[in-house]
Amino acid sequence: MAVGTELKFASLDELNLDPMNPRLGRNNTRPDLPQSDILELMKDWTLDELAVSFLESGGFWTHEAVLATKERLYGKTRLVVIEGNRRLAALMLLHEAIEGRPVSKKWEEIAKGRKPPKKLFTEIPYIEVDNRADIESFLGFRHVTGIKEWRPAEKAEYIAKLIDERGMDYEQVMKKIGSKTQTVRQNYISYRLLLEIEDTVDIPDEKLEDRFSVMYLSLRTRGAQKYLHIDIQAEPAKAKRPVPKQHLEALAKFALWLFGNDERDPLFTDSRKVDDFGRILESRKAVEYLERSEEPSFDIAYRLAGGDEPEIIRLIENAADNIELALTRAHLYAESKTLRAAIERLRADSDQLMKILPTGPKTSKK
C-alpha cells in the first residue's frame, strides 16, 4: 500500500500523538513518552488558533487529513499520527475544554458557550501509510525545505536520522528531501557537532537549540573550521565525531563562546556577527585573548584580529573624498578665519595619522 489513497475516518481516542516527532526536541523523543507529556511539550505551539478555526469553520476539513500509520505503541498496535500532530493536539485540548476539563483559562474561554461541529471528535479524516519510511520524502519537502519548516535543529536532526538510521548518503538525502548536497552535508556535520558538544561541555539544552543556526553559520567560516580542525567536506563515516579528540578542549571553549552557559553569556548574540567571529578565530592574538580572559569582550577580540581595519579605511577614504570636494570651492573663501581654523585642525589630524603609520623603506640614491 505504501501511502494509501483512501480517505478514512477515526475517532479522537483512536488516534495517537507521535512520541518521536522531531519538533518535541531530541532530548524528549522516545517510544514510551506518554500522550499527556507530549501534549505538555506542545502547549506553546499556538494550538488555540487551530481550535478556534475548527469551531468557526465547521470542523476538520477533509483536505487537511492527517497521515497515520499502525505501529506498536505502549504495548499495543495503534494508529500514530506522523503528519498533523498540531491538529490532533488542538482537538484533544479542545475536547477536554468542552468536557469541562480545560487545561487553562484560555481554553476555558475558547470552549465557553460553544457547540462543536457534529462529528468533530468522532470522524477525523486520515490517510494511512504502511510505515514512517513511506512518507520521508513528504516530511522532508514539507518541513525541511518547504512551507511548514521545522526549526533549524529539528531539520538537522531529521537529516541525521536519515543518514545514521537509514544508512543514506548525502546525495540520497538530497534527492529525498529536495535540498542541495552541500546543505545536507553541513546540516549533518552541524548536528553531529552538537552531539559532540553535549558530550564535552555542560551547556543547557535550550541554549543549544536556540543558537543552533548560529553554530551552523559559523561552520561556514574558515576561522571556525581551522580552530576546531573540522573537515566540512567529510563524508558521514568520518563526520560522526567532527572534532578530533586532541582538539576537544578547543571545542569546549568554542561552545562557551558561542552558546554561553548558566554562568556566562555568549560572546555575541547578533547572528550577523558570525563572519566577524570567524575572523577572530583566524587570529592567534585574538584567540589567545579569548582563551585567557574570564569575561572576554567581542569588540576587543575583533580589534585584536584587525577586524575594524576596513571601517577605519572607509572613514579615511570618506574624509579624503570630502576634502577633494572642498578643494573645488575653498578658494572662494580664502579670507575666512573659520575655514583656516578647520584646515589647521585637518593638518594636525593628518600629521598625527602619519606619525602612527610606520615609515616606509627609503629609496636609495643612484
Q: Quick one: pLDDT at residue 366?
A: 37
| Cβ count near 188 (within 10 Å) | 24
Of these ranges, 145-154, 196-205, 283-292, the one predicted with the greatest mean pLDDT is: 283-292
What are the angstrom distances between the C-alpha of 226 and each of 117, 243, 280, 306, 342? 60, 11, 11, 18, 48
Q: Quick one: pLDDT at residue 142?
A: 59
Residue 150: pLDDT band by 50, 70, 90 thresholds?
A: confident
Residue 145: pLDDT band by 50, 70, 90 thresholds?
A: low
Average pLDDT score over the chain: 88
Does residue 282 or residue 310 have the better pLDDT? Answer: 282
* From 29-38, 129-138, 142-151, the region with the lowest mean pLDDT: 142-151
For the chain, the C-alpha Rg in angstroms (whole number) is 30
How far is it, in rounded angstroms, from Cα 222 to Cα 208? 22
274: which DSSP letter?
H
Does 207 score more than 70 pLDDT?
A: yes
Residue 363: pLDDT band by 50, 70, 90 thresholds?
A: very low
User: How much is the average pLDDT of 332-349?
Assistant: 91
- Helical ranges in 84-204 per DSSP H: 85-98, 105-111, 136-139, 152-164, 170-177, 181-200
Q: Quick one: pLDDT at residue 304?
A: 92
Q: Quick one: pLDDT at residue 75?
A: 94
Q: Quick one: pLDDT at residue 280?
A: 96
Does 146 score more than 60 pLDDT?
A: no
How far is it, in rounded angstroms, from Cα 117 to Cα 156? 39
Does residue 136 or residue 112 have the better pLDDT? Answer: 112
Does 303 score more than 60 pLDDT?
A: yes
Q: Quick one: pLDDT at residue 364?
A: 40
Q: Say if pTM beats, i.e. exceeds, 0.75.
A: no
User: How much is the average pLDDT of 141-152?
Assistant: 62
Read off the C-alpha cell for 275.
563572519
